[in-house]
């Protein structure tokens, strides 16, 4: 059952997610906006095209997008669906989750360096620099949840989380905020990165894929959308209580994913991209939130310091 | 059985001696033959012990002062013996090809093989000898023989300097060991390791101080911060085969020593466990931070060895914490992580050093800023190097992930224990290890991406070609081990768990089984990932089958006259990150301009400093030097004064003798 829900999500969610963001931005600007499923049409259009490959590149450039999409799909299977549980679950699955995403990042960076383009090298360098802040914060977050529940897998952590004491609400909110920053950073949205920018010098993620075209570009766009859905579903797991009706759980899941995309759209309408040197400060908020939550847990759970 | 094992140990040395008497290319072949013969003696007995448990013991009686020396091969020793034996064989295959590059008249191949054999034999003996004096002898033999290998290119001044630095560092480490062994020997009145158990096992300050002495002594060999400074100097100086053996294997004798002491400690003191864990975390972070800022391939790899020693140390620290808090599963996972990462580090670090040697020989430089695009010239080397670079960053499907997974899981498991200090320590370790992991991605995408991808940044004098088969063979074998452990971890883990079970007194099969279960479900998950990968690649193949794939140049933003110098360099790749951590890895930039009105040339020079070296090691050395300068008058250089010393000595002796009579 969780697998069926996950497959439904995999098929449609990344396109809708990006479509909603674009629609919100359009509405905010007083425009009508593209169809909600425009990203899907783009995806299909790209799949039907041929490719142009730089003569500088090696095989790495061609395998990276496929690795990218496979990692994202696999990572999604590791995340439980509220009420239904997860498809793949074992102790320590969150480590595999983080490292599989690391694998796709590794190959994306190498593919960028593979083109020999100075722009793509620049994007790769920025991408990994920001990851050095995100990853430890994510592990503080997961570690705190493991500490709070005494469990070591996504499924068991989330199933025990909401049955714990009242202060977990505070922690859930802190972590949802932290995960939201992670969505923005990993999904390359404003204020970390602007997906609509037209100047290579200011890009991060977009600049790494300048040379990709055709089906490979379709894979990359799909993965980028899916990555945001991935972390939204993770945040939804935090917020949705376990002891509710399955239909309500699914509705809440969709609702939270919808809400995050709307908020991202609103943020993009209201804000400009932050200066590159200010981006780390923004991402450090995630570290701070995670640390605060950890302190709260230690305070309540192990009050005898 | 142990006699056969010992014969195997000695065979490497005999091979080295035999190589002296043979001329030309056959030197390497004869050495290799002896190496193969040694495997026949070493591997069966070692595997037998790992599979069936138990141990072999031999007692040899020497004349005083060694006395009765016991040699024991238990599962811990057997595990290390296998790594040393197999790793050395691979390194000797590689070295045969590597030495071809050198002029036989200028360099002494005989001494190379002689010391190479001596080094391997002494490393093998280190893990079985359990008599402190004999142990120190083989330990020193190991240091000295590796010193001669480091200074193989002794006509270069920096090589000689690095060699001397290395030798001194080793002697400082050994002096701590001598102090520790002498002290413990004077208390117990015995040189046998087993008798140390009573002292180390007991509570009290003596056992703590002894443990610290041992840790510093062995830690200097292994490269724990702040005793790591010799690594980035000695590794680049040595020939690549030797670097691979030193980094992949010899450092691990230090790890072996620490593990042996932990084994004798029984339930370790809690503070010591925390100490080991914290030092290891600092070691890992320091190592990889400095690795990122390097331009020299081998220096980068040396710093990354420090990082990996830190990860192994975190495993040991976690194991000790598990023992002292009586958390059985945490202890199992900790020691499992330490031992497994020891094996894993040997496989990928060997590949990387072998690859670095090939790059150096083919292009004549180790500076990554001058390289680029090598994947087109040497595709097989590049692919294997990539496998090594991905494995060392802990990427799933490869073996580095398997050992780091044990570490993460152990820390996650310890969260269920009710202790604020342990919880805080473990969350620091948890996120610290994640930081180390992501920094490793940065460091190794830089190393591989800049060296092998893109376009050559400078014109090569000779067009580099693919490495020869003898170069590739050891690399391919290591890559095979990487994949086997990475995709089918369960079998290897069961083997290693035998060695782990030595550490955990509560010898329950419950933990054994739960670790194996967790790993088999991990393996299942990984196989699902492989299935998805295959699916995506097949889909991509069918999507692209009838489409046109055009080859064109890289998007250059409309700029027409692109040259390869415009590419991102390694320094620029790591700069944004290094700016974030500038406080810890300070960079110095010098701009040299001509003092003219219309200057033609300007030069920019950047250099990095090892923070730990600057704030700990150098001030310490300065104080020691100024203290020792107080005694400089003894060594005045005046002949008359020395004659006076002799005279005084004689007079004292005469007085003493007369007094006794």
Task: Tell me the angle at which helices B328-363 and B509-544 cross, rounded to the nearest 10 degrees.
Answer: 40
3-class DSSP state for residue B607? Answer: strand
Residue with tokens 């859930």: A172
Min Cα distance B424 → chain A (Å) is 8
Top pLDDT among A160 and A72 is at: A72
Beta bridge pairs of residue B550: A52
Min Cα distance A143 → chain B (Å) is 6
Burial code of B287-307, b = ≥16 C-beta within 10 A, e = fewer? bbbbbbbbbbbbbbbbbbbbb
3-class DSSP state for residue B557? Answer: coil
pLDDT at B1 over 50: yes
pLDDT of residue B138: 95
Chain B, residues 161-220, CB within 8 A of chain A, namely: none
Residue B36: its H or E element: helix B26-52
Using CA atoms, how far residue A183 sits from A173, A179, A286, A304, B565, in Å, is 15, 6, 11, 35, 36
Q: Is B453 on the interface with A (CB under 8 A)?
A: yes
pLDDT at A165 over 70: no
Q: What is the mean pLDDT of residues A278-299?
A: 92
Quote the tokens at residue A199: 């100047």
Query: Are A137 and B431 within 8 A, CB to CB?
Result: yes
The pLDDT tens digits of the residues spanning B358-376 come to 999 999 999 999 999 999 9
The pLDDT tens digits of the residues spanning A205-252 come to 888 888 899 999 999 999 999 999 999 999 999 888 877 888 998 999
Min Cα distance B240 → chain A (Å) is 25
pLDDT at A162 over 80: no
Using CA atoms, how far residue B288 sits from A63, B144, B598, in Å, is 27, 28, 42
Residue with tokens 């989750």: A97
pLDDT at B507 over 70: no
Percentage above 90 pLDDT, chain A: 65
* DSSP code at position B364: S
Question: Quick one: A130 exposed, middle or buried, by C-beta within 10 A (0-12, 13-18, 19+)?
Answer: buried
Query: Are A124 and B547 within 8 A, CB to CB?
Result: no
Residue of A nearest to B292 (CA): A129
pLDDT of residue B518: 93
- Where is mean pLDDT largest: A230-234, B62-66, B610-614? A230-234
- What phi, psi does A241 have (nearest 5°)? -65, 155
Q: What is the CA radius of gyration of chain A?
A: 19
CA–CA gap between residue B98 and residue B149 (Å, rounded): 14
The pLDDT tens digits of the residues spanning B182-238 come to 999 999 888 889 889 888 888 788 899 999 999 999 999 999 988 999 999 999 999
Residue with tokens 């991990």: B522
Using CA atoms, how far residue B597 sits from B592, B600, B602, B603, in Å, is 14, 9, 13, 16
pLDDT at B92 over 60: yes
Top pLDDT among A226 and B596 is at: A226
Quote the tokens at residue A290: 């995670």
Query: Are B525 and A103 within 8 A, CB to CB?
Result: no
Query: Are B413 and A124 within 8 A, CB to CB?
Result: no
Q: What is the mean pLDDT of residues B337-353?
A: 96
Q: What is the ipTM of this complex?
A: 0.95
Range with lowest mean pLDDT among A9-13, A168-172, B63-67, B559-563: B559-563
Question: Residue A143: its chain B contacts at CB < 8 A?
Answer: 411-412, 415, 426-427, 430-431
Q: Is B573 on the interface with A (CB under 8 A)?
A: yes
The pLDDT tens digits of the residues spanning B246-263 come to 999 999 999 999 999 999
Band (B649; pLDDT cuts 50, 70, 90): very high
pLDDT of residue B83: 95
Q: What is the mean pLDDT of residues B51-62?
A: 85
Using CA atoms, how far residue A165 sits from A64, A80, A148, A301, in Å, is 44, 22, 10, 10
Query: Are A52 and B518 within 8 A, CB to CB?
Result: no
Query: Measured between CB atoms, which of A67, A91, A211 is closest to B409?
Result: A91
Residue with tokens 């595999």: A96
Quote the tokens at residue B562: 């692109």
Min Cα distance A90 → chain B (Å) is 6
Residue of B nearest to A120 (CA): B568
CB B49 within 8 A of CB B78: yes
Residue of A nearest to B562 (CA): A117
CB B543 within 8 A of CB A215: yes
Q: Among B310, B244, B531, B482, which Cα is nearest to A87's?
A: B531
Burial code of B449-487, b = ≥16 C-beta within 10 A, e = fewer? bbbbbbbbbeebeeebeebeeebbebbebbbebbeebbb
CA–CA gap between residue A134 and residue B395 (Å, rounded): 17
Residue A215: CA count within 13 A, CB half-sphere: 20
Q: What is the 3-state secondary structure (H, E, C) of B79-132?
A: HHHHHHHHHHHHHHHHHHHHHCCCCCCCCCHHHHHHHHHHHHHHHHHHHHECEH
Min Cα distance B114 → chain A (Å) is 42
pLDDT of residue A303: 56
Range with lowest mean pLDDT among B261-270, B274-283, B609-618: B609-618
Q: Is B326 on the interface with A (CB under 8 A)?
A: no
CA–CA gap between residue A151 and residue B401 (Å, rounded): 21
pLDDT of residue B333: 94
Sketch the domain layout of chain A as residue ranges: 2-41+58-300
Q: What is the mean pLDDT of residues B379-383?
A: 96
Question: Residue A298: its chain B contacts at CB < 8 A?
Answer: 420, 423-424
Sketch the domain layout of chain B as residue ranges: 1-187+226-263, 569-608, 616-660
Query: Are A302 and B543 within 8 A, CB to CB?
Result: no
pLDDT at B458 over 90: no
Q: What is the residue-wise DSSP string for B242-273?
A: HHHHIIIIIHHHHHHHHHHHHHHHSS--HHHH
Question: Is it true that the peptide bond before A94 is cis, omega within 30 degrees of 0?
Answer: no
CA–CA gap between residue B394 and residue B604 (Å, rounded): 35
Residue with tokens 């766009």: A221
pLDDT of residue A304: 43
Quote the tokens at residue B266: 């029984």
Number of helices (H) and strands (E), helices first, in chain B?
Answer: 25, 5
The pLDDT tens digits of the residues spanning B281-313 come to 999 999 999 999 999 999 999 999 999 999 999
Residue of B nearest to A305 (CA): B420
Q: pTM of the prediction? A: 0.94
pLDDT of residue A305: 41
Residue of A nearest to B564 (CA): A116
Query: Are A125 and B573 within 8 A, CB to CB?
Result: yes
Q: What is the mean pLDDT of residues B557-582?
A: 84
Question: Residue A71: its chain B contacts at CB < 8 A?
Answer: 529
Query: Measured between CB atoms, which of A128, A139, A140 is closest to B441?
Result: A128
Quote the tokens at residue B175: 């002096």
CB B258 within 8 A of CB B220: no
CA–CA gap between residue A220 and residue B61 (Å, rounded): 69
Q: What is the mean pLDDT of residues A154-158?
A: 90
Query: Are A152 and B412 within 8 A, CB to CB?
Result: yes
Q: Is B575 on the interface with A (CB under 8 A)?
A: yes
Measured in Å, how far apart are chain A's first and last C-alpha atoms? 44
* DSSP code at position B555: P
CA–CA gap between residue A61 and residue A79 (Å, rounded): 29
Q: How big is the A-B interface in CB pairs under 8 Å?
A: 255
Query: Are B386 and A304 within 8 A, CB to CB?
Result: no
Query: Are B438 and A115 within 8 A, CB to CB?
Result: no
Q: What is the mean pLDDT of chain B?
A: 91
Query: Measured between CB atoms, which of B449, B525, B568 is closest to A96?
Result: B525
Tell me the H-state helices in chain A: 2-28, 38-47, 59-78, 93-114, 118-149, 154-161, 168-186, 205-208, 214-239, 246-270, 279-301
pLDDT at A117 over 90: no
pLDDT of residue B473: 95
Most B CBs within 10 Å, among A78, A80, A92, A300, to test the B interface: A92
Residue of B nearest to A303 (CA): B420
Q: Is B576 on the interface with A (CB under 8 A)?
A: yes
Q: Is B533 on the interface with A (CB under 8 A)?
A: yes
pLDDT of residue B288: 95
Residue of A nearest to B514 (CA): A91
The pLDDT tens digits of the residues spanning A175-216 come to 999 999 999 999 988 888 888 777 777 778 888 888 899 999
Burial code of B400-432, b = ≥16 C-beta within 10 A, e = fewer? bbbbbbbbbbbbbbbbbbeeeebbbbbbbbbbb
């Amino acid at each position: 059952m969780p697998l069926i829900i996950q497959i439904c999500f995999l098929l449609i969610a990344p396109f809708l997610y990006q479509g909603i963001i674009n629609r919100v931005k359009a509405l905010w600007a007083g425009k009508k906006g593209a169809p909600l499923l425009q990203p899907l049409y783009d995806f299909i259009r790209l799949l039907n095209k041929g490719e142009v490959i730089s003569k500088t590149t090696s095989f790495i450039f061609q395998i990276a997008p496929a690795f990218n999409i496979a990692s994202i799909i696999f990572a999604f299977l590791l995340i439980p669906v509220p009420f239904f549980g997860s498809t793949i679950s074992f102790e320590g699955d969150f480590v595999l989750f983080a490292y599989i995403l690391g694998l796709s990042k590794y190959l994306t960076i190498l593919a960028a360096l593979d083109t020999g383009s100075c722009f793509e090298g620049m994007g790769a360098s920025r991408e990994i620099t920001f990851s050095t802040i995100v990853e430890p914060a994510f592990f503080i977050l997961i570690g705190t949840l493991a500490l709070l529940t005494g469990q070591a897998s996504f499924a068991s952590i989330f199933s025990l989380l909401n049955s714990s004491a009242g202060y977990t609400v505070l922690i859930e909110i802190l972590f949802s905020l932290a995960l939201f920053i992670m969505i923005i950073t990993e999904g390359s949205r404003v204020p970390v990165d602007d997906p609509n920018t037209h100047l290579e010098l200011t890009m991060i993620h977009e600049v790494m894929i300048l040379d990709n075209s055709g089906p490979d570009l379709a894979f990359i766009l799909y993965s980028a959308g899916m990555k945001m859905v991935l972390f939204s579903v993770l945040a939804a797991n935090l917020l949705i209580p376990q002891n509710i009706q399955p239909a309500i759980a699914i509705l809440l899941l969709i609702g939270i994913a919808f809400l995050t995309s709307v908020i991202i759209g609103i943020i993009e309408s209201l804000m400009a991209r932050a200066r590159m040197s200010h981006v780390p400060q923004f991402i450090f908020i995630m570290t701070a939130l995670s640390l605060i939550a950890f302190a709260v847990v230690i305070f309540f759970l192990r009050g005898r310091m | 059985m142990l006699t056969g094992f010992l014969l195997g140990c000695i065979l490497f040395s005999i091979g080295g001696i035999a190589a002296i008497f043979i001329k030309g290319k056959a030197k390497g072949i004869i050495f290799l033959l002896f190496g193969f013969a040694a495997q026949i003696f070493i591997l069966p007995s070692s595997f037998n012990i790992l599979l069936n448990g138990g141990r072999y013991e031999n007692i040899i009686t020497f004349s005083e002062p060694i006395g009765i020396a016991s040699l024991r091969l238990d599962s811990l020793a057997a595990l290390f013996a296998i790594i040393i034996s197999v790793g050395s064989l691979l390194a000797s295959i590689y070295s045969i090809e590597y030495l071809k590059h050198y002029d036989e008249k200028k360099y002494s191949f005989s001494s190379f093989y002689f010391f190479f054999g001596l080094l391997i034999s002494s490393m093998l003996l280190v893990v079985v000898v359990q008599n402190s004096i004999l142990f120190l002898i083989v330990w020193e033999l190991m240091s000295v023989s590796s010193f001669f290998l480091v200074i193989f290119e002794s006509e270069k001044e920096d090589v000689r300097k690095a060699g001397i630095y290395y030798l001194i560092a080793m002697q400082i480490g050994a002096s701590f060991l001598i102090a520790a062994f002498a002290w413990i020997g004077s208390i117990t009145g015995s040189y046998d390791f087993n008798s140390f158990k009573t002292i180390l096992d007991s509570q009290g300050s003596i056992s703590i101080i002894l443990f610290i002495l041992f840790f510093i002594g062995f830690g200097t060999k292994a490269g724990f911060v702040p005793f790591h400074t010799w690594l980035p100097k000695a590794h680049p100086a040595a020939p690549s085969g030797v670097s691979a053996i030193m980094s992949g294997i010899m450092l691990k004798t230090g790890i072996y020593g620490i593990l042996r002491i932990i084994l004798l400690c029984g339930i370790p003191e809690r503070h010591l466990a925390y100490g080991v864990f914290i030092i290891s975390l600092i070691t890992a972070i320091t190592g990889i931070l400095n690795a990122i800022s390097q331009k020299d391939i081998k220096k980068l790899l040396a710093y990354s060895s420090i990082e990996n020693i830190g990860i192994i140390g975190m495993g040991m620290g976690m194991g000790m914490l598990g023992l002292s808090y009586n958390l059985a599963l945490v202890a199992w996972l900790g020691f499992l992580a330490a031992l497994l990462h020891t094996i894993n580090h040997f496989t990928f670090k060997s590949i990387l050093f072998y690859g670095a040697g090939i790059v150096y020989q083919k292009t004549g430089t180790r500076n990554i800023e001058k390289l680029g695009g090598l994947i087109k010239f040497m595709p097989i080397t590049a692919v294997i190097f990539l496998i090594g670079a991905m494995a060392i960053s802990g990427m799933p499907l490869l073996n580095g992930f398997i050992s780091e997974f044990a570490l993460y899981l152990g820390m996650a498991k310890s969260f269920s224990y009710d202790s604020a200090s342990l919880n805080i320590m473990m969350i620091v370790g948890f996120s610290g290890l994640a930081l180390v992991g992501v920094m490793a991605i940065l460091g190794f995408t830089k190393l591989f991406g800049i060296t092998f991808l893109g376009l050559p940044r400078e014109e090569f004098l000779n067009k580099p070609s693919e490495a020869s088969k003898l170069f590739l063979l050891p690399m391919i074998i290591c890559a095979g081990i990487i994949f086997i452990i990475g995709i089918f971890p369960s079998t290897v883990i069961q083997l290693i768990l035998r060695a782990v079970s030595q550490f955990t007194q509560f010898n329950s099969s419950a933990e054994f089984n739960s670790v194996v279960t967790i790993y088999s479900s991990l393996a299942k998950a990984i196989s699902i990932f492989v299935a998805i990968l295959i699916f995506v690649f097949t889909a991509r193949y069918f999507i692209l089958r009838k489409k046109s794939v055009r080859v064109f140049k890289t998007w250059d933003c409309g700029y027409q006259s692109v040259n390869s110098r415009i590419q991102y360099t390694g320094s620029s790749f790591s700069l944004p990150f290094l700016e974030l951590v500038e406080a810890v890895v300070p960079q110095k930039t010098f701009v040299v301009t001509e003092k003219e009105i219309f200057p033609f040339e300007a030069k920019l020079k950047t250099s990095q400093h090892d923070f730990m070296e600057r704030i700990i090691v150098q001030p310490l050395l300065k104080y020691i030097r100024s203290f020792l300068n107080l005694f400089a008058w003894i060594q005045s250089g005046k002949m008359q004064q020395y004659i006076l010393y002799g005279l005084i000595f004689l007079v004292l002796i005469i007085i003493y003798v007369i007094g006794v009579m």
